[in-house]
């Protein structure tokens, strides 16, 4: 057999063996091991994953005191969803301003004749039922919080898609600052508004489904029970 063919066969076999060894092993005690793990070669019974992140997403966990950079999942930061509010149509009104304009129940007033920055209007906060007149007292809430989205699948998205959910009008609500900050990055099982609870639940779930954000098995049960509790009268 020509030497060149033997060389190609050898390289193909070597490549296959390397790829096989790169599989992430989740052991019976749910620890995710990559090839740098001292226990990797000894683990014979395992569930295989293509990446550490995939293993972690399936209720896996890291070995104690791991220092491997490969095993450290990418952390959430606001910048992963873009640098602040985006002005998609380049009209000087970013997505915060457009939400304020759209959701005010009275004509808004702008800081200057350029009509870029909203300073006042009339907003009925759906979380508290209170009426707010100063734009500076308004927070634009992400109904599905960005960190919650990151933890439920957005970490695997493109930057473009993450910027989209951060500025999507359906995911933006003009609300009082205190309740928005109380909510933080919590999902339905950790926080609900004092007012319009069912409306909030349905909107949260609609957005989650539009963006294919996934729930754990326990969250599926909890969210179903929450919806039945607060929306059964509809």
CB 28 within 8 A of CB 45: yes
The reported pLDDT for the residue numbered 21 is: 46
In this structure, the answer to whether residues 161 and 97 fall within a common structural domain is: yes
Q: Which of 20, 45, 71 is the C-terminal boundary of a domain?
A: 71
The reported pLDDT for the residue numbered 16 is: 33
In this structure, the answer to whether residues 67 and 84 fall within a common structural domain is: no
In this structure, the answer to whether residues 66 and 82 fall within a common structural domain is: no
In this structure, the answer to whether residues 15 and 41 fall within a common structural domain is: yes
Number of domains the chain contains: 2
In this structure, the answer to whether residues 140 and 194 fall within a common structural domain is: yes
Least confident of 11-15, 26-30, 126-130, 209-213: 11-15
In this structure, the answer to whether residues 60 and 165 fall within a common structural domain is: no
Q: Which residues pair with 172 in a beta bridge?
A: 142
pTM of the model: 0.70
Q: Which residues pair with 120 in a beta bridge?
A: 109, 134
The reported pLDDT for the residue numbered 50 is: 67
Q: Which of 22, 38, 71 is the C-terminal boundary of a domain?
A: 71
Other CB atoms within a 10 A radius of the CB of residue 175 amount to 24
In this structure, the answer to whether residues 25 and 117 fall within a common structural domain is: no
The reported pLDDT for the residue numbered 193 is: 97
Q: Which of 71, 104, 128 is the C-terminal boundary of a domain?
A: 71
How far is Cα 205 from Cα 197, in angstroms, rounded to an integer?
Answer: 12
Q: What is the residue range of 195's domain?
A: 78-231
3-class DSSP string for 121-170 = EEEECCCCCCEEEEHHHEEEEECCCHHHHHHCCHHHCCHHHHHHHHHCHH
- Split at pLDDT 50, 70, 90, the class of 45 is confident
- Under DSSP, the state recorded for 41 is G
């Amino acid at each position: 057999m020509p030497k060149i063919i033997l060389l190609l066969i050898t390289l193909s076999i070597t490549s296959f063996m390397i790829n096989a060894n790169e599989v992430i092993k989740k052991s019976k005690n749910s620890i995710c091991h990559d090839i740098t793990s001292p226990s990797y070669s000894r683990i014979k019974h395992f569930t295989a994953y293509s990446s550490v992140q995939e293993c972690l997403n399936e209720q896996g966990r890291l070995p104690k005191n791991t220092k491997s950079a490969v095993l450290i999942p990418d952390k959430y930061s606001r910048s992963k969803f873009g640098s602040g509010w985006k002005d998609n149509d380049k009209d000087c009104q970013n997505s915060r301003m457009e939400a304020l304009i759209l959701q005010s129940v009275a004509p808004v007033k702008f800081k200057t004749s350029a009509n870029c920055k909203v300073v006042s209007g009339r907003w009925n906060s759906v979380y508290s039922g209170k009426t707010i007149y100063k734009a500076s007292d308004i927070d634009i809430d992400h109904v599905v919080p960005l960190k919650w989205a990151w933890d439920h699948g957005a970490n695997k998205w493109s930057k473009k898609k993450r910027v989209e959910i951060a500025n999507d009008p359906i995911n933006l609500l003009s609300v009082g600052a205190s309740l928005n900050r109380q909510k933080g990055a919590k999902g339905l099982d950790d926080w609900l508004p004092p007012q319009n609870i069912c409306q909030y639940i349905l909107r949260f779930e609609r957005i989650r489904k539009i963006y294919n954000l996934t729930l754990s098995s326990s969250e599926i049960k909890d969210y179903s029970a929450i919806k039945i509790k607060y929306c059964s009268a509809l």
